[in-house]
Amino acid sequence: MIVASAISKIFGMKSGKVLIAALAASIMGALPTVAGPEQITVSLGSKATQPPLGWVEFCANQPNECVGAATKSSDVVLSRDAWMDLVRVNKRVNATIKPLTDLEHWGVVEHWSYPDDGYGDCEDYVLLKRKMLIQSGWPREALLITVVLDNKHQGHAVLMVTTKQGDFILDNQKTDILLWSETGYRFIKRQSRSNHNEWVSMNSPQPATATAASR
């Protein structure tokens, strides 16, 4: 209240309130602004495609994590609490897990698993973020593992969160949570919105590899 009063006196009541709101937003994590309808959804191809081999092997090793059937696709209303949930999980996992390629970690090119020992590559970050958000009450159908080509044209995995305000990307290579259209990535495939055990191709201007590289 003392800080608020001082700000109001310095800048005037109206401008002071605006500044206070801005400061609060910067501390809590401001909700993103969606600039236009072209940013709301990702353009998807209509045909199903093969899931990444790493996902298939992950499900074989941990079948309880992949139990599920067709469900109604879910878009979350991105409230301030929901946004803070995303920010908290994204920052915690990115800060806690140390990057290590599958070849260095397991001696194989591709291996999806939870980074229980504190090390992992892009898919492992995604799996942990997805798990933590589900445990926080997020619907599984809104948390879609997605394969992209990054800015170096290498395979990479991210977590796409579908909301009514747009599809946002949680990424171990970026600090900020961005709309899919702001990442600069080329989107290749992702889990189906109606069944996370099925995968769909995504419209891409050029053919690209479908396997996420160790990152």
* pLDDT, block means (10 residues), the chain with 215 residues: 39 40 43 50 68 95 80 78 96 97 94 97 98 94 94 94 94 95 94 89 56 47
Output the pLDDT for position 113.
96
Output the pLDDT for position 188.
94
Output the pLDDT for position 72.
63
**Residue 149: beta bridge partners?**
155, 186
Output the pLDDT for position 29.
53
- Distance CA(179)–CA(18), nearest Å, equals 26
Output the pLDDT for position 172.
97
Output the pLDDT for position 67.
77
Burial of residue 197 (CB within 10 Å: 0-12, 13-18, 19+) is middle
Spatial neighbors of 56 by CB under 8 A, at least 6 apart, are none
Output the pLDDT for position 27.
38
Helix axes 80-96, 122-135, angle to 10 degrees: 140
